[in-house]
Structure 1
Amino acid sequence: MCTSIARLRYLSFLAAALIVALAGGIFSVSAQTVQLRLVSTSWSPFTNGPGQPRFALDLVEEGLKRIRVSSTTSIVEPAQFTQALLSDRFDGSAAVWRDAEREKVLLFSQPYLENRLVLVGRKGADVSATGMSALKGRRIAIVEGYAYGDIDNAGPTFVRLRNDEASLTELLRAGVDYALIDELVVEYIVSNYSKESQTRLEIGKTPLVIRQLFFAVRRTRPDAEAIIKSFNAQLRGMIVDRTYHRLLHVGWIRADIDGDGVPEYIPASDKAGPTAPQHVYSLFSSEPPASQPASKTIEISPRFYLGGSIYTDWATVPDPFKVHDSQSPDPNRSTATLFKFVW
């Protein structure tokens, strides 16, 4: 009965979402292909040039493609980013944080991704810190070019390195006490280097830095509002059709797909495997509640989305979904070409 109610609620949501998508699609169908000049910094693995890890840019470009908007992203130095973003040389950015100064110039999309940085230490290290002040005097590796906010006077000494691979290498050689690494990258490390991560690393549970990512377009563009609305209308569909899984290289995603404020677990395939997932990547830590860390928001009885229906727990998921997908490669397998961690 619960599953039937969940299915009816989800079908109602789909109907409403279709109306919204069609309304947003008026922009894309009636107009010729629009081109945007965007700007970003090099910030692996979220923004980069072609051929490198660029998860955020890939997600935005896919969403824009669905509404017949093309984009090119110029990569600038971090010190030049804000000036370039707010100038009329560019139409906006595919991956940007939101603040009052930028809101005067830019229209922002709904958040489509979240950066959550967790503390990683060598085996046996204390990674229980919930704030930077608890790490006073420690040396912490961070990726250069990342706008961490006002943390330089927070207590630790920050060692800026070119990417997460370099941060982990420096940590393992004891050049730093800790590394601050995005939770998505940590998920890859745990999935692809299970033995190494268990025997050589301690991984914190509470994100020390949380920032939502947005797509933004200059307000002075006459089509800015139409672009943003049409882009927003694509996001849930990109989760349901597993585009997010494919571009983020994750097997399971936790997100609210029916708009009721309660997140569901969505696998990369309707052949989800015989057992409930042990690792699920949460798109947002604030679903629900907003103040609760991402590592503590997994429900006792999570809901599952498979075959177009929402199931209230794993026991109610039909057996045909509880098989391995022999046709689909492990989504984590391709990360070997994206990250080259040396142990």
Structure 2
Amino acid sequence: MSPAAHGTKLTSTIFFICTITLLSLLISSVGKTESYHPPQGTLVVTGDPWPPFADPNDPNLGIAPCILSKTLTNPESKVKMLFQPWARAEIAVDEGRADVLINCAKTDRREETYYFSNPYIKIKLVLIKRSDDPFVYTGLNSLSGKRIGTVYGYAYPDYFINNEKIYKDPVKTISDNFKKLHANRIDLIIDDELVATKQLLNMPTPYSNNFEIIPTEIAPIDLHIATSRKNPSGSKVIDLFNANLKKIMDNGVYQDIMSAYQANKSSIK
């Protein structure tokens, strides 16, 4: 099967799985959170573009919105997907301009601020280098002195963040990191394996050949939806999501979604 035919089949499969309930899933993108005021009665879900987990260019908006279409929507309610940089998404939830934060990893600080759902995906952190870079990863110590591209607000392992010998250089998006890596302004990028692979697949071949993914021994990280502890309905949203997540895991719909996105390695068993 040609790549084009495979892509058509994949899109059709995902559309069939998600389209009915996604009719009530709206999409928006804003430049400043302070200018946004959600309609009354609308459940606002927010996060940054992070294909394939959250993708404004995907008709079904990515894996997480597809799962939310099966767990948080019903005929009486609407869910609005608000794409914005991660740091702004956190502020929007903290200040009550959004209700749900998607693709959120637990940290001690966040657990003081948010209610967390059961995990619905897991990620595997990898490194990306320039193809002409002779660097060989042999563990955390081999990153000493390296400039590592990160993303503002993302949660990374404490032993990585707290290592002062590793220089972290945050930007708004992983796409910005690839631009900086190509320009030799950073040495490496750290991000999820599936996300990095998706980025490379979406690049023109001559450009994508400039990069190489390096596996690491970093343990997989569970991701959740989160709601503010200041939100009176926050815990109820989490309970609803958890109950319906179990249902779609039991009836096979969850695995159908993950398989349609070729994301089985990111599935929660």
Indicate the TM-score class for this superposition, using the shorter chain for normalisation.
0.5 to 0.7
Q: Show the counterpart of 1:175.
A: 185
Q: Tell me by how many angstroms 1:119 deviates.
A: 1.0
Q: Tell me by how many angstroms 1:76 deviates.
A: 5.6
Determine the C-alpha separation between the residues in 2 that align with 1:195 and 1:225.
Answer: 42
Does residue 118 of structure 1 match 2:126? yes
- Indicate conservation of the 8 Å contact 1:140/1:180, yes or no: yes
Does residue 37 of structure 1 match 2:48? no
- Indicate conservation of the 8 Å contact 1:85/1:92, yes or no: yes
Q: Tell me by how many angstroms 1:126 deviates.
A: 2.7
Determine the C-alpha separation between the residues in 2 that align with 1:228 and 1:153.
Answer: 36
Greater relative contact order (CA < 8 Å, ≥ 6 in sequence):
2
Structure 2 CA distance for partners of 1:119 and 1:209, relative to 1, 3 Å: farther
Determine the C-alpha separation between the residues in 1 that align with 2:148 and 2:239.
Answer: 43
Determine the C-alpha separation between the residues in 2 that align with 1:95 and 1:51.
Answer: 17
The aligned runs of 1:279-294 (5 Å cut-off) are: 281-283=265-267
Q: Show the counterpart of 2:259.
A: 245
The aligned runs of 1:237-316 (5 Å cut-off) are: 237-240=252-255, 242-246=256-260, 248=261, 250=262, 253-254=263-264, 281-283=265-267
Of residues 213, 216, 220 in structure 1, which corresponds to 2:223?
213
- Indicate conservation of the 8 Å contact 1:116/1:182, yes or no: yes
- Indicate conservation of the 8 Å contact 1:119/1:207, yes or no: no
Of residues 55, 66, 90 in structure 1, which corresponds to 2:62?
55
Unpaired stretches in structure 1, ≥5 consecutive residues: 1-33, 255-280, 288-343
Determine the C-alpha separation between the residues in 1 that align with 2:97 and 2:199.
Answer: 38
Determine the C-alpha separation between the residues in 2 that align with 1:84 and 1:194.
Answer: 35
3-state SS of 1:142 partner: strand
3-state SS of 2:221 partner: strand
Determine the C-alpha separation between the residues in 1 that align with 2:70 and 2:199.
Answer: 27
Structure 2 CA distance for partners of 1:77 and 1:117, relative to 1, 3 Å: same
TM-score, normalised by the number of residues in structure 2: 0.61
The aligned runs of 1:1-343 (5 Å cut-off) are: 35-40=42-47, 42-45=48-51, 50-51=56-57, 55-64=62-71, 67-68=74-75, 69-75=77-83, 78-79=86-87, 81-100=89-108, 102-103=110-111, 106-123=114-131, 125-131=134-140, 133-148=141-156, 151=161, 153-188=163-198, 200-206=210-216, 208=218, 210-217=220-227, 220-221=232-233, 223-224=236-237, 226-236=239-249, 237-240=252-255, 242-246=256-260, 248=261, 250=262, 253-254=263-264, 281-283=265-267
3-state SS of 2:135 partner: coil
Deviations along 1:69-119, whole A, 9 cap, x unmatched?
532244566555545434444433233222455445644322111232211
Q: Tell me by how many angstroms 1:176 deviates.
A: 2.4
Q: Tell me by how many angstroms 1:232 deviates.
A: 1.8
Over aligned residues, Cα RMSD in angstroms?
Answer: 4.0
- Indicate conservation of the 8 Å contact 1:120/1:127, yes or no: no
- Indicate conservation of the 8 Å contact 1:108/1:228, yes or no: no
Percent identical residues: 21
Q: Tell me by how many angstroms 1:183 deviates.
A: 0.3
- Indicate conservation of the 8 Å contact 1:118/1:209, yes or no: no
- Indicate conservation of the 8 Å contact 1:59/1:244, yes or no: no
3-state SS of 1:233 partner: helix
Deviations along 1:146-178, whole A, 9 cap, x unmatched?
343652654222333443334334323433222
Number of corresponding residues: 219
Determine the C-alpha separation between the residues in 2 that align with 1:190 and 1:49.
Answer: 15
